[in-house]
Amino acid sequence: MHARSFPEALKLIMEENGWSQTELARVLGKPQPWISRVISGARDTGIGTATYLLGKAGWIMILMPQREAWMLRREFNGKAVKAAGGAVAGKAAGVLFIPSGRSSPYQDPEYVLGLAKRASTMRDELGGVPIAQRVWTQAKGISEALPGTGKGLRVAASEFMRQAAWTVYDAGRVDLAESLARKSLALARDAGDVEKQAAAHAILSDLYLVKGAPDHAAHHAEEGLALPEVPDSFRAPLKAYMGWALAQDNWAGTSKKRSQKFINEARSINGLSPLDSAWVSGVSGLVFHDVGDVSQALHSFDEAVRITESLPATQYQANDLANAAKVALATRNLDLAAQLMTALSYIVPLVTSAWIDQKVKSVLDAAAPWAQVPEIKEARARLRSVMPKQPPRT
């Protein structure tokens, strides 16, 4: 992040921290009308004054010749920012205003969002186990950097905490996942970001369903759906989670019809990304199975797998294949179950995920009663051969 003029730098400082002109004036020790006149260009300040005031906001000024090709390396990220010429005509030096290097790398919203994206991508491709420890360490560093920072960083931190929650959940630490998801929600609420609040409610709903607490899951789905102008990318999963929670309705006596209503609404939302569509289809499969519609459940799982075939999302595929295999076994469709288990055996080695390992184990357990049926026996042997081996005791 950099600016070519003092007024532009002030605008970026306000945007980065979520400050009004009045809040910026308080930080810089200047009256608000003075800030307004500088930003509008009605008042010019000398270099000395600009440098002093920028320092109060954690920024520095750099002077450089236009004719030179400068590359500025951010200490925390190692990424280069080109300082292109053209700011001032003639032989005058170019001026660049950038955030001070004294800041922690975790105080840069763009950097934190980059970490969140990287965690998401690596988890979808490899599983959560290989990166869980690093992501947990980063989450602690970001938390320590938050006090006294502005809205921009809190929004970015909310997204990182959400991705970190999915990651440690995939590594088998549901307790840490819930803590991170709650932190994501708190940060999103503090920043007033509706989209991040909806995203946090979605993962909390998922976690409570896994923990066998459908009432809490429904609460978070309902809270997320009640937010104003929730994007479809989160409205669809939230409706799917509500349907899933209602399908496990011992706590509320909810009807099958109401559960399917939410699922149908989730599936009717258009314009979702392939991964979001696959997720909704996978959750739909679970709901259809819970309410006794086996044919529709298997169709939904198949749909989810087909959507992700061409994507770097082996984790999604493994999850949906495992769920479909368990439904086929539960309904004694042994030929189909063997086919799904065999397909699963080709996916499992590509993912290092405690969550997927647990799924595969549950498939093996469900297939145990038919262990002597030739096709099931062979499929179980294939699955067992690709499961992680326990290290020998010394």
Name residue 303's beta-bridge partners: none
Residue 205 falls inside a structural domain: no
For 22, 50, 323, 326, 372, the CA distances from 380, given in Å and listed in that order, are 67, 71, 15, 13, 10
> What is the pLDDT at residue 89?
35
Q: Which residue has the tokens 């009045």?
A: 22
CB-count burial class (<10 Å; 0-12, 13-18, 19+) for 30: middle
Report yes or no: 105 and 115 within 8 Å, Cβ to Cβ: no
H runs (alpha helix) in the chain: 6-17, 21-28, 32-40, 47-56, 109-126, 132-145, 151-170, 174-191, 194-210, 214-226, 232-247, 256-267, 274-290, 294-308, 314-330, 334-347, 354-367, 374-386
Residue 327 falls inside a structural domain: no
Q: SS3 of 244, please?
A: helix
Kindly give, in sequence order, each residue whose CB lies less than 8 Å from that of residue 189, ignoring residues fewer than 6 positions away.
Answer: 197
Task: List, for residues 354-380, the tens digit of each pLDDT value.
Answer: 889 999 999 999 999 999 999 999 999
Residue 247 falls inside a structural domain: no
Q: SS3 of 212, please?
A: coil
Task: List, for residues 291-314, the tens digit of each pLDDT value.
Answer: 889 999 999 999 999 998 888 788
Q: What is the DSSP string of 152-194?
A: HHHHHHHHHHHHHHHHHHHTT-HHHHHHHHHHHHHHHHHHT-H
> What is the pLDDT at residue 84?
31
Residue 322 falls inside a structural domain: no
Q: Which CATH number is 64's domain given?
A: 1.10.260.40
Amino acid at 256: K
Q: Decide: pTM greater than 0.85.
A: no
User: Which H or E element spans position 394?
Assistant: none
Rounded CA-CA distance 97/60 in Å is 6
Query: Which domain, by its residues, includes 73?
Result: 6-103
Amino acid at 289: H
Tell me how many domains the chain contains.
1
Rounded CA-CA distance 248/264 in Å is 17
Rounded CA-CA distance 294/333 in Å is 11
> What is the pLDDT at residue 96?
57
Name residue 96's beta-bridge partners: 62
Residue of 131, 216, 134, 143 lying closest to 170 (CA atoms): 131
Residue 69 φ then ψ, to 5° = -90, 95
Q: SS3 of 254, please?
A: coil
Residue 279 falls inside a structural domain: no
> What is the pLDDT at residue 311?
82
Measured CA angle at 240 (ends 201, 161), to 5 deg: 30
Residue 31 falls inside a structural domain: yes
Residue 52 falls inside a structural domain: yes
> What is the pLDDT at residue 330?
95
User: Which H or E element spans position 82?
Assistant: strand 80-83
Q: SS3 of 231, please?
A: coil
Looking from the CA of 90 toward its CB, the CA atoms found within 13 Å total: 1
**Average predicted confidence (pLDDT) for the chain:** 84
Kindly list the averaged pLDDT for each block of 10 residues, start to end, along the chain of length 394: 79 83 87 89 77 75 48 38 33 51 74 92 84 92 89 95 95 93 97 96 95 93 95 93 84 69 93 91 92 92 91 87 96 96 92 89 96 96 85 46
SS (H, E, C) 272-317: CCHHHHHHHHHHHHHHHHHCCCHHHHHHHHHHHHHHHCCCCCHHHH
Task: List, for residues 232-242, the tens digit of each pLDDT value.
Answer: 999 999 999 99
Report yes or no: 24 and 13 within 8 Å, Cβ to Cβ: yes
Q: Give just the sign of the alpha carbon dihedral 302, 306, 309, 312.
A: negative
How far is C-alpha 291 from the chain's CA centre?
A: 30
> What is the pLDDT at residue 329?
96
Length of the chain: 394
> What is the pLDDT at residue 155?
96
Residue 39 falls inside a structural domain: yes
